[in-house]
Structure 1
């Protein structure tokens, strides 16, 4: 038993060892300039004194940022869990989210201005598991059961579906973190901007009603640029008033993927229809509206599929700028004078070209328009342009894996962040993503320098010197 405790201490998992390590840093390793910056220049004391100061400061923060009041040192009974649910404070949760995003955004100020000015505003958004040690709690609806994890408010995560665990043996205890990362300005310019985490939101696994919007709000408050949001199928399945409408009001447009049942005609208003995420005139022939379903059913070949997708372009409405602050956006009608148009009711070809206005206004004012906004895609689905842009969504997944890797911040190791509650997990993850940001900024600057300078120019000077004290050259020069 003592050996197990010693091993845990050696791995740095014991909370007291972490407090002592930071106390030693505050006591012995801070420079006068750093002390001045932190506002502790006049404080004195030994390492034990600094331990107490740090311990009290951290617990004051936790007192102000834990949304639920619950004992974190013992397993909560069903009665204690119900009391904790009733104690929920949205004010404390908002405060925790604010501090969490201050932490992750702090390193962004170190990004050189000449690089910062090149940002086009594109981001990718995804959720990732923040796993904690211990067994999973009963699901949220089982309020009459005692909690099985020391973090009484943590949820259960499952890999499939919408990640809300229901008690399977493969479920994992933890929280889910929405992460917003910057992506390159164009698929054809993969090194145009560094991959940086710009905003976070923490919630129970599968509870994605508000987290994506909250994370995007923190990003939008930090950056003025408005580009594209690249997301997976989970997000265009959201209620439009919770995610699509508010993010469009911020000025963003979306790049989505769809389930097969979501393809084809997805809505319509007046003489405009939504097919596979893009707006077309309603006189587009039927066989161009069912391309994806026909291909999946084996009715057409890949070659025919691609040709039909390309044929849609002549019926497509084109974006006129970005959405405004009310979420409204104008689109240009296509020129139909040289296009074959068909009666949507009979399928017969029209003998006269339909008359259309110059622009179409999509405004989130009614249920019909909101159904269109829910699935509206910046690019025609499955076209080469869509594939190039949607492929950049992988940056957010690779960034999450990068932060979790044991060779980096090891956020994926639950033994490194014990079950200590919402605020602890939020700040722990934020610090990990902040450290990753610093490393990515340095790596990006180095990569940019390598383009300009010869690689050997950046080599560290040799330690060995000649008889005159001059550094010896590298042998490969």
Structure 2
């Protein structure tokens, strides 16, 4: 039996019985189809009647299913029982071999063809005219109904390629797979105009072992979108993609034309490093001449505003010098020689973003009354 006939039987079983089993597919193909549909699929006009004919027809169906699974599963084994950890590690290592990578690529291509069918039709019919190219990428957990690996018993899960998926928001873990989903999204404009109407479609889907190929899976989905001629805008990713290394996620995504909007934890914000003397703050590169913030707070004034009203009013009207370091707050010799002069006002640091100015302001001068 041809593989396409087997796939047709499994799809019909899902549609009518809400489950994809070989027994349901065999029963629908041989006992539930009309003669015209039998002719399309190449199934005999009369269903098998005796036990020997039923066994022969079921074996043909299994051989067609083996042809499909052999091309998509390089590490075939009995999935109805738990393997020892030693054998499970051997089968799982086959997926990392070149043969396993090719089988995984065929699986992902088959999945994305199903997802991209609706995207391609919507693009051809003009339903995506109001979409500006913004995409939201999320790594979602897919739970499996099997027991995880048990080092105490020495047995592995029946899903040997499954793993622990850790949720970034709550820190909970789920045993299963990670699904990379790409959803059509939009952002607010500066004038707060409402977005144009567009279908919020699923643009891509990748299923893989958690924390193994998180960044490359997202790049694969976005590459397929650019090949369709769709626009590129802002890419909002969750924390699972924030921790990816730049060569596997950030750099390829920017080369595709997307602008990144990443989610950082509170402890990961602020100064994150540097590149060619340019400081990296909150995921963005600043000017190399941006001064570092002062590590010590400015000294408190020793006099009250009521004691020196003139000086206080002058201090209030004088603009604060942005990005003034602690070394620039030293008093001048002229100010130290006058005993009746009030103490100098501490320099105020501006609350503006560091990219507004790259040149430090001169230190404030103290003038005696």
- TM-score (norm: length of structure 2): 0.62
C-alpha contact (below 8 Å) 2:26/2:61 kept by paired residues: no
Q: CA deviation at 1:235?
A: 1.7
Distance in 2 separating the partners of 1:176 and 1:241:
21
Does residue 85 of structure 2 align to residue 78 of structure 1? yes
Does residue 110 of structure 2 align to residue 99 of structure 1? yes
Identify if the C-alpha distance between structure 1 residues 236 and 173 changes in structure 2 by more than 3 Å, giving closer, same or farther: closer
Identify if the C-alpha distance between structure 1 residues 97 and 269 changes in structure 2 by more than 3 Å, giving closer, same or farther: closer
Residue of structure 2 in register with 1:174 after alignment? 176
Q: CA deviation at 1:98?
A: 0.9
C-alpha contact (below 8 Å) 2:188/2:195 kept by paired residues: yes
Deviations 1:29-50 (A, max 9, x none): 9879xx8xxxx36655356799
Does residue 101 of structure 2 align to residue 90 of structure 1? yes
- Candidates 181, 186, 200, aligned match of 1:195: 200
Distance in 2 separating the partners of 1:223 and 1:72:
41
**Residues 184-263 of structure 1: matches in 2 within 5 Å?**
184=186, 186=188, 188-207=193-212, 208=214, 210-263=216-269
The higher radius of gyration belongs to 2
Q: Kindly indicate which of the two structures has a greater share of residues assigned to helix.
A: 1
Q: Which has the higher contact order (CA 8 A, sep 6+)?
A: 1
Distance in 1 separating the partners of 2:47 and 2:363:
85
Moved more, 260-269 or 232-241: 260-269
Runs (4+) of structure 1 moved beyond 6 Å?
Answer: 29-32, 47-54
SS in structure 2 of the partner of residue 281 of structure 1: coil
- Candidates 153, 156, 161, aligned match of 2:161: 153
C-alpha contact (below 8 Å) 1:154/1:174 kept by paired residues: yes
Gaps of 5+ in 2: 1-15, 49-53, 297-348, 365-369
Identify if the C-alpha distance between structure 1 residues 267 and 13 changes in structure 2 by more than 3 Å, giving closer, same or farther: same
Residue of structure 2 in register with 1:62 after alignment? 69
Gaps of 5+ in 1: 1-9, 164-169, 291-307, 317-338, 351-477
Deviations 1:442-468 (A, max 9, x none): xxxxxxxxxxxxxxxxxxxxxxxxxxx
C-alpha contact (below 8 Å) 1:285/1:342 kept by paired residues: yes
Superposition RMSD on alpha carbons, in Å? Answer: 4.2
C-alpha contact (below 8 Å) 1:81/1:143 kept by paired residues: no
**Residues 434-445 of structure 1: matches in 2 within 5 Å?**
none
Identify if the C-alpha distance between structure 1 residues 311 and 87 changes in structure 2 by more than 3 Å, giving closer, same or farther: closer
Q: How many residues align?
A: 282
Q: CA deviation at 1:253?
A: 1.4
**Residues 428-467 of structure 1: matches in 2 within 5 Å?**
none
C-alpha contact (below 8 Å) 1:75/1:152 kept by paired residues: no
Distance in 2 separating the partners of 1:29 and 1:120:
49
Identify if the C-alpha distance between structure 1 residues 94 and 14 changes in structure 2 by more than 3 Å, giving closer, same or farther: closer
Residue of structure 2 in register with 1:396 after alignment? none
Moved more, 97-106 or 149-158: 149-158
**Residues 248-397 of structure 1: matches in 2 within 5 Å?**
248-269=254-275, 272-284=278-290, 311-312=352-353, 315-316=355-356, 341-342=359-360
Distance in 1 separating the partners of 2:154 and 2:169:
24
C-alpha contact (below 8 Å) 1:69/1:87 kept by paired residues: no
Q: CA deviation at 1:60?
A: 2.3
Identify if the C-alpha distance between structure 1 residues 258 and 135 changes in structure 2 by more than 3 Å, giving closer, same or farther: same
